[in-house]
Structure 1
Amino acid sequence: MEAAAAVAALLLLLALSAALVSRRRSGSHRLPPSPMALPLIGHLHLIRPPPHRAFDRILARYGPLVYLRLGPSTHCVVAGTADAARDLLKFEASIPERPLTVVTRHLAYDDAGFAFAPYGQHWRFMKRLCMSELLGPRTVEQLRPVREAELAAVLRAARDAAARGEAVDVSRHLISMSNNAIMRMVASALPGHMTEAARDCAKHVAEVVGAFNLEDYVGICRGWDLQGLTRRTREVRDKFDALMEIMITAKEEARRSPAAAGQQKAATKDLLDILMDAAEDQNAEVKLTRENIKAFILDIFTAGSDTTATSVEWMLSHLINHPACLDRLRAEVDDVVGGARLVGEHDVARLPYLQAVFKETLRLQPPAVFAQRETIEPVHVRGYTIPPKTSVFFNIFSIGRDPGSWEEPLQFRPERFMPGGAGAGVDPKGQHMQLIPFGSGRRACPGMGLAMVSVPAFLAALVQCFDWAVPIPQGHSKAPPLDMEEAEGLVAARKQPLVLIPTPRFDPLPGV
């Protein structure tokens, strides 16, 4: 009895402390609307996975801007419409940071990378390097053959499956393609077994980053690793670190060789070459360290691999469930490109319906379902005051499905982005708040230029080269519509693998 009374007293004390902290933070200022919170846990009981769906339910009930307390003292604001996001981004100078979680701190070598680096000189230097060199138009074009080679491997796998009369796991092949393409863009001479190791690391990174970690929200749990996430994070970080050491060491040895150095000057540089050039530049305003290079490579690999595969498989899934849209897209590709050659990235600008399909898929299934920032000072918006050290979530999933911005928002209608459609003038590069799959403002994804040409081109090739059919389950007379349920995790991929029966449209396939 005494133990039970002591526990009850402790819980009451913690609840009162949390209430006092919340009251001190809010002061006399109004916070946005909020559901009823529970002692200690706040609103954690409402955040059932996947979190973007939980946010969407709360926003639908309480309005476009809501306040949540996750645990005793973790304060959040969630924006769920284009107008609310636009109003918040007027104060971008006050919300420039991305909060570091326990997991991301380990993965990002504290803040040595780019994605979670504090807004300052190092971050601005890396952003310029990204836009001008690493992910700039010249580098993207120079590394196009790498992406074309990986796409050809997917087309060959589908062709071989068709010859055997078998279905093909499109999801698995797309993930392999995107991971291999990213790794070979990072380090062009990477051996095959190391590519497999890197792909395995990326899978585990996505799992630990996307997992709910009690340590981030309940201070008393910090350091205890009750869920084992810190241990798993260290394991995957150590594996990736060992992989990066092999890559960097091999590159350093090659760069020291006079013959290899001469060949390198004439050859296309990969992303690791560009980073190492920047690290050796004595006149650079920021001196990149070995950890900076490792952290940035981890950033780009985890951000650019599964997201590419996810976008392509969602596009193809929607098209299969909407045959008229698939027929229209195939007719456009046949008319513009024909069958004598494989559709490529340089064709995307001449394929407006392909671009419309891409935009509509990004609206309904953005790979990054929310963007997160953190306030560094009070933000006064819409009559509310958001205190410092508050996490700000832009729920991109909700924004893309907001009925205030989109007619029939849950329907797949690429035509809305065609000339004469309501979204004809909307692009996804961050200037139009109703469609921000790559984020917006200073922290927008620097790889959006690459994604805007490579991802539609991958889909166009699948549509050009094959007819795709859903396998008919045993005991059924016809195939059911594809299940469009999402999986949990950092990237909102399909819950069920996309398994389809391919039928080649050409013999031989163009470009394969």
Structure 2
Amino acid sequence: MDTLSSIFLCLIFAWICIQLLQYSLAGIRRNDISRKLLPPGPKPFPLIGNLFELGDKPHLSLTKLSQRYGPIISLQLGQLTTVVVSSSSLAKQILQNHDRIFCNRTVPDGIRGSCNHSQYGLPWLPVSPKWRNLRKISNSYLFAAKVLDANKANRQVKVQQLIDDVCESMSKGEAVDVGRAAFATTMNLLSGTIFSVDLADHPSSDAARKFKDNFAGIMENVGKPNLVDYFPLLRKLDPQGIKRHLTKYFRETVVFFNGMIDQRLESRKRHQYVTSCDMLDILLNISEEGNEDMDETQVKHLLLDLFVAGTDTTSVTLEWAMVELLRNPEVMLKAQAELEEVIGKGKLVEESVIVHLPYLQAILKETFRLHPAVPLLLPRRAESDVEIGGYIVPKGAQVLVNVWAIGRDPGTWDNPSHFKPERFLGLENEIDVMGRNFELIPFGGGRRICPGLPLATRMLQLMLGSLINCFDWKLEDGVVPETMNMEEKFGLTLQIAHPLRAVPNKS
């Protein structure tokens, strides 16, 4: 009780400080704002602003507000002015036309305070020579087509392991937890690509299990709304413990990486060592060449970013794709017919044939449209006042791009709530996810588009195509498509609230 009382008194004190600060600045702000045309939005309450407007599904709440106030809105979240855009044309303004002004991030307190990750993490670093160098390394040495091509045999092996695991479940008459299977495969694909080790295949390994638990903790805590982000005066209190928990998870994950790196460095000293050409070898080579932006500390933080950005987003997207295929059996049949015609029924999909599978690619695009893994992208920050859509976005404002709303905009898409891959076929100007078409930007756009996009799309195409070509699927326990629960769970990624369990049968 003493602890709770102390926290309550501190919160009251912080509230008084905020009120005094707001009062002292009221005259200045009133005159300043009168000269600015802020985007419309709901009237904020004293102190808390519009925090209650967000709810537990902010992407949906913000979409409803945009339907009421327009495609660009402003909210006051505590002390943080936030602007949200919900149309492709305004997203283009933010991510392309004014990319220089919006290229930096609003960094969450949990990221800033956890092992100084904001000083190393590629998604959070400000655009600077260091950021450009790290970006160049990622594009040239980690995700370049020739690098991914050299590692495609590893991806093929991991997809075969996924199919073998599903076959084992089928032989036992068991349903498959699609999200969990996709996560394990994605983890192995990434860890094989980075370390030449299958982390998800070693449940008996204490280090690997600890790594997976820490990773889950990072995902959970980064996705939580943090009062400190809205009321910076609470930073030292850390009332929700988010920074404390993230610091623990980050440190233990870095310790795990230390072990992997030390083991590799010892192996590299041996005369008989044969390079594996995995990402760790590449990064250590760059470090040993004296690149000042790629020392051992930077290597560990970059590895952390690769796992955080690559595992959950990919597995969540695959689970949503399978959900939609089971809800729309006619789409499943069309996809299976295409696969049978191109590669033969029951065979694994290989990367060389993806170009000949336009319907499979359309299914993934339609999944990205309806179920973007990161529905609000990572937040941007305005570096100066700028006019967007006839309104002023003030310097220092947090800017969110609601790609969930953009993907369901009836002004852009016919029947936007329907899963219809055919909308991406036969287009004169093909829509892709490379950040050029702002109607479909699940990976973001501009200079801060996700660098791992090429690897993510390859992994998804291989896993989804192989799962539906090797098996026929039905829902568990007599569930029918019409009664499937499509409720969403908002976090760092947009997950399906009720995990998909499906029963495989030999196709």
TM-score, structure 2 normalization: 0.91
Measure the CA separation in 2 of the matches of 1:13 and 1:303.
Answer: 41
**Cα 1:111–1:20 shift into 2, 3 Å:** farther
1:496 aligns with 2:501: no
Which letter maps to 1:296? L
Tell me by how many angstroms 1:56 deviates.
1.2
Structure 2 residue corresponding to 1:338, chosen from 344, 353, 359: 344
Tell me by how many angstroms 1:179 deviates.
1.3
Measure the CA separation in 2 of the matches of 1:443 and 1:472.
Answer: 44
| Counterpart contact for 1:315–1:361, Cα < 8 Å | yes
Tell me by how many angstroms 1:133 deviates.
0.8
Measure the CA separation in 1 of the matches of 2:439 and 2:339.
Answer: 28
Look up the match of 1:456. Answer: 461
Structure 2 residue corresponding to 1:110, chosen from 104, 115, 118: 118
**Cα 1:138–1:256 shift into 2, 3 Å:** same
Tell me by how many angstroms 1:162 deviates.
1.4
Look up the match of 2:4. Answer: none
Look up the match of 2:230. Answer: 217
Tell me the secondary structure at the aligned position of residue 140 of structure 2: helix
**Cα 1:233–1:414 shift into 2, 3 Å:** same
Tell me by how many angstroms 1:483 deviates.
1.6
Tell me by how many angstroms 1:145 deviates.
2.5
Measure the CA separation in 1 of the matches of 2:13 and 2:131.
Answer: 49
**Cα 1:364–1:17 shift into 2, 3 Å:** farther
1:28-427 equivalence runs, <5 A:
28-71=35-78, 73-88=79-94, 89-105=96-112, 106=114, 109-189=117-197, 192=202, 193=205, 194-260=207-273, 263-264=274-275, 268-282=276-290, 284=291, 286-339=292-345, 341-371=347-377, 372-419=379-426, 425-427=430-432
Is 382-391 or 169-178 further displaced after alignment?
A: 382-391
Tell me by how many angstroms 1:27 deviates.
5.1
| Counterpart contact for 1:150–1:181, Cα < 8 Å | yes
Q: Deviations over 1:335-374 (max 9, x none)?
A: 0000374212222111000011010000000111122211
Tell me by how many angstroms 1:408 deviates.
1.0
Which letter maps to 1:460? G
Q: Deviations over 1:235-290 (max 9, x none)?
A: 10111011011011111111122221xx11xxx411111111111113x4x43222
**Cα 1:393–1:9 shift into 2, 3 Å:** closer
Which letter maps to 1:425? E
Aligned length: 489
TM-score, structure 1 normalization: 0.90
Which letter maps to 2:488? E
**Cα 1:330–1:20 shift into 2, 3 Å:** farther
Measure the CA separation in 2 of the matches of 1:419 and 1:90.
Answer: 28
Tell me by how many angstroms 1:311 deviates.
1.1
Tell me the secondary structure at the aligned position of residue 305 of structure 1: helix
Q: Equivalent pairs: percent with the same residue?
A: 30
Q: Deviations over 1:306-335 (max 9, x none)?
A: 111111111111011001100000000000
Tell me by how many angstroms 1:116 deviates.
0.7
Unaligned runs of 5+ in 2: 1-8
**Cα 1:22–1:461 shift into 2, 3 Å:** farther
Which letter maps to 2:338? E
Look up the match of 1:435. Answer: 440
| Counterpart contact for 1:472–1:480, Cα < 8 Å | no
Tell me by how many angstroms 1:35 deviates.
0.8
Measure the CA separation in 1 of the matches of 2:461 and 2:429.
Answer: 18
**Cα 1:7–1:202 shift into 2, 3 Å:** closer
**Cα 1:340–1:39 shift into 2, 3 Å:** closer
Tell me by how many angstroms 1:497 deviates.
1.0
Measure the CA separation in 2 of the matches of 1:140 and 1:290.
Answer: 23
Which letter maps to 1:389? G
Which letter maps to 1:38? F
Measure the CA separation in 1 of the matches of 2:75 and 2:259.
Answer: 44
Look up the match of 2:6. Answer: none
| Counterpart contact for 1:135–1:447, Cα < 8 Å | yes
| Counterpart contact for 1:98–1:118, Cα < 8 Å | yes
**Cα 1:11–1:446 shift into 2, 3 Å:** closer
**Cα 1:134–1:21 shift into 2, 3 Å:** farther
| Counterpart contact for 1:210–1:490, Cα < 8 Å | yes
| Counterpart contact for 1:378–1:386, Cα < 8 Å | yes
Look up the match of 2:485. Answer: 483
Q: Deviations over 1:23-80 (max 9, x none)?
A: 3653511111121101111111111122212221211111111111110x21111110
Q: Give me the CA root mean square deviation.
A: 2.3
Measure the CA separation in 2 of the matches of 1:25 and 1:201.
Answer: 45
| Counterpart contact for 1:318–1:412, Cα < 8 Å | yes
Measure the CA separation in 2 of the matches of 1:108 and 1:456.
Answer: 35
Tell me by how many angstroms 1:195 deviates.
3.7
Which letter maps to 1:209? V
Measure the CA separation in 1 of the matches of 2:52 and 2:466.
Answer: 44
Is 133-142 or 99-108 further displaced after alignment?
A: 99-108
**Cα 1:182–1:196 shift into 2, 3 Å:** farther
**Cα 1:309–1:95 shift into 2, 3 Å:** same
Tell me the secondary structure at the aligned position of residue 168 of structure 2: helix
Which letter maps to 1:153? Q
Measure the CA separation in 1 of the matches of 2:148 and 2:141.
Answer: 9
| Counterpart contact for 1:109–1:291, Cα < 8 Å | no
| Counterpart contact for 2:328–2:481, Cα < 8 Å | no
